[in-house]
Chains A and B, each alone.
Chain A
Amino acid sequence: MLELSGVNSYYTKAHILRDLGFSVQAGQVVSLLGRNGAGKTTTLKSIMQLVKPRSGSISFEGQSLTALPPHRVAKLGLGYVPEDRRIFTDLTILENLEVGRQPARDGVYEWTIDVLFDLFPNLKERRQNRGKALSGGEQQMLSIARTLMGNPKLLLLDEPSEGIAPVIVEQLAETILKLKAEGLPVLLSEQNMHFARIVADRAVIVEGGSVKYDGTFEDLDAQPEIRDTYLSV
């Protein structure tokens, strides 16, 4: 449903993505793996058009995204959860969720605040608290919940496990598996191989802005040299 090919992205002058290409199929959880600075975050931002690729094509369900502003990309059904969570700290949890709310879509699970509070009970308790009062883990939950309020067809998760207590990481893994069970495909970027293989069906290894490996975790285990070269374990 999501196709990238030959994507080149820059930060002003620095060439970050170099002819990057891969795809995500319906119902799949795909993990982008790679070291710091490999280009994972830029990949997700390029999909959202928060970074405009200079060349290459990115399409979602057959529609090209490259000329669209970010809000149109979101309207097409791409839900983006940024690396630094970017919750609105002056808004309450309920208000944060309201910002993310979008009308229901045909054939897509429709998220409501009640359903999300079942999924993230912590948020329910603190629904009138402001964003700045939340812990890192709670902020991550809120950021995901806020994006789910847009009833996305595909979820983009940027390093969800980063800087979060191990207990919460486990909860997070369960949550992603639940989302997958609801039929929501996920593209997540991760440095944590262990976390990635729990939740993901496929690994896409990025280094220096291009794809170095694209396949299952089992096949990756058979090629330890790839893992050792591109991932710091």
Chain B
Amino acid sequence: MGLIVAQILTGLANAAALFLVASGLSLIFGVTRIVNFAHGSFYMLGAFIGYSLMQVLPGAIGFWSSVLLAGLLVGVIGVIVELCVLRPVYKAPELFQLVATFGVILVIQDLALMIWGAEDVLGPRAPGLKGIVRIMGEPVPKYDLALIAITPFVLFGLWYLISRTRVGILVRAATQDREMVGALGVNQAWLFTGVFFLGAALAGLGGAVQLPKGGADLLMDFNILAAIFVVVVIGGMGSLPGAYIAAVLISVLNVFGVAYLPQSTLVLMFVVMAVVLTIRPYGLLGREEVVGEHGQVGEPEQPIKPAGVKARIAVALLLLVLALLPLFGSKFATILATDIIIFCLFAASLHFLIGLGGLVSFGHAAFFGGGAYAAALLVSYVNAPMELAFLLAPLCAGMAAVIIGWLCIRLTGVYFAMLTLALAQLLWSLVFQWDEFTGGDDGMVDIWPAEWLSSTTAYFYFTMIVGIGGILFLRHVAHSPFGYALRASRDSARQAEATGINTKRVQWMAFSFAGAMAGVAGALFVFSKGSVFPVELEIARSFDGLIVVFLGGVKTLAGGVVGAAFLELVKDYLTRLEYWRLALGILIIIVVILAPNGIVGSIRKLAQRSGLVKNHYE
């Protein structure tokens, strides 16, 4: 009994930082509709800044003022990010801003590396709270008790601010209808900045306050990111009490998980989220998001059309040059081109889902990695010839997409995105932890193509035919009646239903199809590398896809492919630099600000304005 109480107390103490960070994310999303990927980075900065301050400021007063100052400073950093990076792109299509925040992550990672070095930092213990207290015979750190005591006050303070003050009323009003708040004389731009300050400051506080328990390291930004998204979604977007309950739930379960079922810890929170969302699609205390409630963001969708003659000729020429690459390029260039084509196919399949289906999936890597693993398992265990494994892999990925899609399609918006993330994460942890079957962290090796494809050149041509064939097939489907039905379901589900389209079924089919096409890319990938590791199923791989789709232009058919090729080429060059993340992050931010419609979309706009290209819909 005593042990269980002690474990619950540990869970409650762990919930403190998680709640602080998650509530900031929830606030920022609620008002600005920005999915702030950089929130984990604010948390990390809070920890490092708090650590540095604690080195200078002595005693208990020094400790607690360091925590508060760290929060304030991170809040100011948040304001800088909002003013410099996000304000220029508020009018861009919804979710485009997440690309910008991804750039911020990279920049902050390298800046932290420059300032604090690569070594993990051990957090100082809180003066005056160093010892333990025995509760029912079990030792409980005093600092844990302090955290447990403080958190409800923070929750109350935030609740009071949001529900009882004028600022809180304005924030809630802006959550619902920003434009109307502006028309009533409130400068909502400053309201946004204020919310960003508060959200970032909460993340910074969370980072500083957990120092005595967890210290600071350069991985903590990504490590907490998934957890805080899960907390916000389980609690219900925009609900502070919900975030608190979810943070406690996750933290307490996690403590028990570590004690009794250690292999569950990687996936526990995602299982909880999947269960909660299946029962309550909008989280514990959330409410349904009404589509279109927040008004149209950006310009209306432009109809897409098949490429014109000139564009076809240009693409044909480009392909011709690509086909000649093995003849005059180096072996390295051929391998790079193979990688790029594979990534382009992956991006194109995700673009199909996001751009045409309006289904923003945060877990598309499940199908890329799924296809790769399916092929590898077939080769390893049933000695399947490469050709057979290559044919079956997309089917396996497609089947996985059928199942995951069935679970996710009922949800919309951010909830849909988060459930895809959770289920992808489940698949990842399955592969990661099932050592005997999948090799776990060591991956699967010796998965080579058949004899006739064993040379780099032969495999390059194979990739070109399959990969580019796949991309063209995706384009073809976009222009088929199925593509029309999919776009109709995206633009107006109600009207589409009224014309006899079963929108949920169309979306489910699109999800499965996109999954299968990602599986093709995965199969191409595994045979080109000869191996596959769990990293291909990771959140980071899903985010890669997401970034290039938006960077290339989500509202243009070529966006995914162009974005993928661009990023892959740039990365190949930049990763040779010492601080390549900084360079890449700044580059992404610059592209985002200069090309708010994505690379393809913005180039087209420019061309239309200068009269080079006619706009057919005028």
B-binding residues in A (CB < 8 A): 12-13, 48, 50, 69-71, 73-75, 80, 82, 86, 88-91, 95-96, 98-102, 146-147, 150
Chain A hits for B189, CB < 8 A: 69
Tell me the complex Cα distance, A98–B172, Å: 12
* Given A70-B179, A80-B183, A150-B184: A12 touches B299 (CB 8 Å cut-off): yes
The reply to whether the CB of B253 lies closer than 8 angstroms to some CB of chain A is: no
Tell me the complex Cα distance, A13–B176, Å: 28
Whether A150 pairs with B185 at a CB distance below 8 angstroms is yes
Chain A hits for B617, CB < 8 A: 13
B168, closest chain A residue (CB)? A95
Mark out the residues of chain B between 150 and 169 whose CB falls within 8 Å of any chain A CB in the assembled complex: 166, 169
A77, closest chain B residue (CB)? B185
Chain B hits for A147, CB < 8 A: 184
Q: Which 9 A-B pairs have the closest CB atoms?
A: A74-B185, A70-B182, A86-B180, A99-B173, A71-B182, A88-B173, A71-B187, A95-B169, A70-B183
Contact of B188 among A71, A88, A96 (CB under 8 A): A71
Contact of A71 among B173, B175, B185, B618 (CB under 8 A): B185
Tell me the complex Cα distance, A98–B171, Å: 12
The reply to whether the CB of B181 lies closer than 8 angstroms to some CB of chain A is: yes
B293, closest chain A residue (CB)? A89
Whether A100 pairs with B184 at a CB distance below 8 angstroms is yes
Contact of B169 among A69, A75, A99, A150 (CB under 8 A): A99
Tell me the complex Cα distance, A99–B174, Å: 10
Kindly list 12 other residue pairs between chains A and B, CB separation below 8 angstroms, not including A48-B183, A82-B180, A99-B181.
A69-B182, A69-B189, A71-B183, A74-B183, A80-B183, A88-B172, A91-B169, A96-B173, A98-B169, A99-B186, A102-B184, A102-B185
Chain B hits for A95, CB < 8 A: 169, 172-173
Chain B hits for A73, CB < 8 A: 183
The reply to whether the CB of B435 lies closer than 8 angstroms to some CB of chain A is: no
Chain A hits for B172, CB < 8 A: 88, 90-91, 95
The reply to whether the CB of B170 lies closer than 8 angstroms to some CB of chain A is: yes
The reply to whether the CB of B500 lies closer than 8 angstroms to some CB of chain A is: no
Tell me the complex Cα distance, A80–B182, Å: 11
Tell me the complex Cα distance, A52–B222, Å: 41
Chain A hits for B289, CB < 8 A: none
Whether B177 pairs with A12 at a CB distance below 8 angstroms is no
The reply to whether the CB of B300 lies closer than 8 angstroms to some CB of chain A is: yes
Mark out the residues of chain B between 283 and 337 whose CB falls within 8 Å of any chain A CB in the assembled complex: 299-300
Number of interface residues of B (CB under 8 A): 23
Tell me the complex Cα distance, A89–B187, Å: 21
Chain B hits for A86, CB < 8 A: 177, 180
Whether B176 pairs with A89 at a CB distance below 8 angstroms is yes
Whether A88 pairs with B176 at a CB distance below 8 angstroms is yes
> Could you tell me the distance in whole angstroms from the C-beta of B195 to the nearest C-beta in chain A?
15
Chain A hits for B184, CB < 8 A: 71, 74, 80, 99-100, 102, 146-147, 150
A99, closest chain B residue (CB)? B173
Whether A99 pairs with B183 at a CB distance below 8 angstroms is no
Chain B hits for A80, CB < 8 A: 183-184
Whether A71 pairs with B186 at a CB distance below 8 angstroms is yes
Chain B hits for A13, CB < 8 A: 617-618
13 contacts between A and B (CB under 8 A): A13-B617, A69-B187, A71-B182, A71-B186, A74-B184, A86-B180, A91-B172, A95-B169, A98-B166, A98-B169, A99-B173, A101-B166, A102-B185
> Could you tell me the distance in whole angstroms from the C-beta of B93 to the nearest C-beta in chain A?
14
> Could you tell me the distance in whole angstroms from the C-beta of A70 to the nearest C-beta in chain B?
4
Chain A hits for B170, CB < 8 A: 99
> Could you tell me the distance in whole angstroms from the C-beta of A96 to the nearest C-beta in chain B?
8
> Could you tell me the distance in whole angstroms from the C-beta of B191 to the nearest C-beta in chain A?
10
Chain B hits for A12, CB < 8 A: 299-300
Chain A hits for B299, CB < 8 A: 12
Tell me the complex Cα distance, A32–B295, Å: 26
> Could you tell me the distance in whole angstroms from the C-beta of B164 to the nearest C-beta in chain A?
10
* Given A13-B617, A88-B176: A82 touches B181 (CB 8 Å cut-off): no
Tell me the complex Cα distance, A48–B180, Å: 11
* Given A86-B180, A88-B173, A88-B177: A75 touches B300 (CB 8 Å cut-off): no
Chain A hits for B166, CB < 8 A: 98, 101
